[in-house]
Structure 1
Amino acid sequence: METVDLMDKLTSLQFERGIQKEELPWLFLQSRSRGLMIEACAHAAFFCRLLWALRKMDGSTSISMLPSEEEKEDPYKKPSKRDLKVGIIGGGRLGKHLALVLLHQASLPPQNLHISTRRPETLIDLQKMGIQCFYHNCFLVDWANLVFLCCLPSQLPHICLEISPRLEKFCFVYSLVTAVPLPRLKQLLCHTTILRPQYQCAETYIDIWGSNEGIQSALQDPDIIRATSPYSTDGGITLNIKWLEAVFYAALNTCTLREIPYQQALEVLNDLCLSVHLQTCEDKTNCPRFIVTDFVNQAFAKTLHPSNAFPWFDLITVQLKETPFSQHLGKSVTLQEHLTVLYCASFGISLSQETEQPKEEEKEVMQEAPGPQS
């Protein structure tokens, strides 16, 4: 489902037409808001793809980050016990865009996606695609193993009070309510398996985010995908890299849930995440590989028996404190480059493709944001 701008050719009715001259410098907030939504949806899609692959593996390390064509054929097929079941709480603008991105960019089968919103009647188009939409937050949490919070900050305390008693330890909560920090989320939900991406906006940036096409269409643009990659500063929006650390510890938690021995879990991550190489990697045997001390300290690693799984990691602690993976990721530029290649490849974008030189008019879109950093 594509969003069509009915006022695209009607300049007298467009938003910018009614703005006073002294207010024009603030138009950058419009593109910044769109950029933040694109980044949030892209990172959520990447996380879903990774969890999907880890939950569906059948003992082989040869796994894919995408559902098979057979799994996507029947929109009314009941998800299996091992499937990733995704719930979205909030059916507003962000919730609807996220649902479409998960369907089209993360290739999530519609039967694996539920939305709980106070106004399910406004989501008829999504329901026609096979997504169940209703207003029952507790039912959604009972069913899902990954829950996205896309509600307003003012609604969050009530929602958390409602769903907290129903949250299983193994259910991932992914908060896109940016106004509520992690310690507060932990307090409200009495839960530690929470991810919350944090974004920083630069004062000076080039607007690459577009304006008319839908979010899912924007995520087919190679330049936009590169701009959303975890280490990119293009477009003036940067992601706190602690999110990437939490993604990998969440991946290990998924392996622990499957009772996979830690050595096999590392093999799975290496095969899934480090099998895509840079074009400059002539000798792939020298490319980075995950080892146990990348994720736990040496003292704990020595206590692990080959049959042991990794411990269950507190994702809030991972995002708030230094971890072994923080140190490893910060020191290894090669690993950072490989993870960037993985991220782009998951959207079908190759970094080996030559990037076109920016046009002169694009260079002139450099903007100075008059307000403080957000």
Structure 2
Amino acid sequence: MDLLEDLETLKFESGIHEEDQSWLYLLGRSHGLMTKACAHATFFCKLLHNLRESFSRESFSRKLVPEKRTSKCRLTGLCEETQDDDALKVGIIGGGHLGKQLAHTLLQFVPIPAENLRISTRRPETLDEFKKLGIQCFYQNASLVGWANVVFLCCLPSQLPNICVEIQTRLGKDCIVYSFVSAIPVSRLKLLLNHTNILRPQYQCAEDLARIWGANKEITAALQDPVIIQATCPYSPAGGISLNIKWLEGMFYALLNFCTAKDMPHSQVLWHLSELFPSQHLEACKKDEASPLKFQAQDFVSKIYAKNLSQKRPFPLFDLTAVQLKETPFSQYLSNSTTFQDRFTHLYYDSFGISLTKEQEEPEVSTGSPSQ
């Protein structure tokens, strides 16, 4: 609820001189960028969460589920798990506006249990709202990355070099670093962290930005609006803020890296990835129900490598920074497979509890440029 909705003189815009009114579009752009960033990060975490749950169900059927136990670290006083479990653990570095909005979005839409989300910030005393929910808030970046499966960097560019020095020795190879620091390219971040498992979305704003983003709406509320969801979908041209489609490649290779860290045979990995696209979307996509989406090894690696890959052998550990900068076998798959694009779009909408309508399946050319 906007408390200033009917109080025009108290709104931010009323204090802007007439000659500066033209700059007010920056508020909408900033809010739009944050909305899209939170939506894409949440969708990635939901895919990873669902993938881990798929593994858990398979392990349960084999009676291999480990018992979860916790203890307190003597040095930090934080609760640490003494045995690996199947629940996704997410850390956020930075407790500013973006970090808070991301935390709320993850809790609502993934959903992540409070005990599996931790926030490290220089001012943990300002995060009482999260502490009341049972989320650990502290200022120990190295401890955070040593615990988390996914770490979101929500800090300022000026803070990033010092943070990288703090955390680079505690990063495990399978820990995924997801950076929102737009001023630092992924190639530079790779050097700062001495780490290759990094995701960094790139956004581009059109001059004629759509007036759908607003500036005061909570992100969690915005992501329940079908118009907003359509504008955030990676394959949608709506909204005026486009996402570089290389992010989508990086996201899938990150899922592969997670499986490789589990030493999972690649044939099993491909089956689990296909399971992420449930059969209830087939009817909506008007596809033959007898032909579900199936990934093959050559969709992710070269045909020669796939031919020599034995059934029980895992995929290699991919350099996500290279994936986001160069062409890959999955690049061709994304551009050529309309079936995947349809299934992906339905899955994306479904992740936020919204059904895709016929009008949204074939969106009209709208304000803004298409995703690249």
Q: What is the TM-score with the length of structure 2 in the denominator?
A: 0.87
The correspondence of residues 77-96 of structure 1 with structure 2, limited to 5 A, is 81-96=85-100
1:87-123 deviation digits (Å, cap 9, x = unpaired): 0000000000000001112211110000000000100
Q: Does 1:217 align with 2:221?
A: yes
Work out whether 1:12 is the aligned partner of 2:5. no
Q: Which whole-Å CA distance do the structure 1 matches of 2:342 and 2:88 have between them?
A: 28
Match of 1:315 among 315, 320, 332: 320
1:295-374 correspondence to structure 2 within 5 Å: 295-352=300-357
Identity of aligned residues (%): 56
Asked whether 1:56 is paired with 2:53, we answer yes
Label 1:62 to 1:171 Cα distance change in 2 as closer, same or farther (>3 A).
closer
For residues 47 and 279 of structure 1, what CA distance do their matches in structure 2 show?
Answer: 22
Match of 2:157 among 144, 147, 153: 153
Q: Output the CA distance in 2 between the equivalents of 1:278 and 1:159.
A: 48
In structure 2, C-alpha distance between the alignment counterparts of 1:345 and 1:171, rounded to whole Å: 27
Q: Please, which of 159, 163, 166 is the counterpart of residue 162 of structure 1?
A: 166
Cross-structure match for 2:63: none
Q: Secondary structure at the match of 2:235?
A: coil
Measured against aligned partners, the alpha-carbon deviations of 1:338-357 in whole angstroms (never above 9, x if no partner) come to 111111111111113656xx
TM-score (ref. length: structure 1): 0.87
> Could you tell me how far 1:61 is from its partner in structure 2?
6.6
Kindly indicate whether residue 108 of structure 2 is the aligned counterpart of residue 104 of structure 1: yes
Match of residue 230 from structure 2: 226
- Distance in 1, matches of 2:19 and 2:5, equals 24
Structure 2: gaps (5+ residues): 61-67, 69-78
Task: Name the CA shift for 1:285/1:353 in 2 (closer, same or farther; >3 Å).
Answer: same
Change (3 A) 1:282 1:197: closer
Give how far 1:84 is off: 1.1
Ranges in structure 1 where 5+ consecutive residues have no aligned partner: 64-70, 72-76, 368-374
Among 186, 192, 209, the alignment partner of 1:188 is: 192
The answer (yes or no) to whether the contact 2:285–2:343 under 8 Å persists in 1 is no
1:230 touches 1:239 (CA, 8 Å); kept in 2?
yes
CA contact (8 A) 1:230 1:238 kept: yes
Q: 1:59 to 1:44 in 2, by over 3 A?
A: closer
CA offset digits 1:158-205 (Å, max 9, x no partner): 000111111111110000111110011001000000000000111123
**1:174 is aligned to 2:172:** no
Call closer, same or farther: CA 1:169–1:78 in 2, change over 3 Å.
Answer: closer
Letter in 2 for 1:26: W
Give how far 1:7 is off. Answer: 2.9
May I ask how many residue pairs the two structures share in their alignment?
Answer: 345
Segments of 4+ moved more than 6 angstroms: none
Aligned partner of 2:43 in structure 1 is 46
- For 1:306 and 1:354, the matched residues in 2 are separated by 42
Alignment-mate amino acid for residue 182 of structure 1: V
Distance 2:10 2:356 in 1: 40
Query: 2:314 & 2:33 partners in 1: Cα distance?
Result: 37
- AA partner of residue 298 (structure 1): K
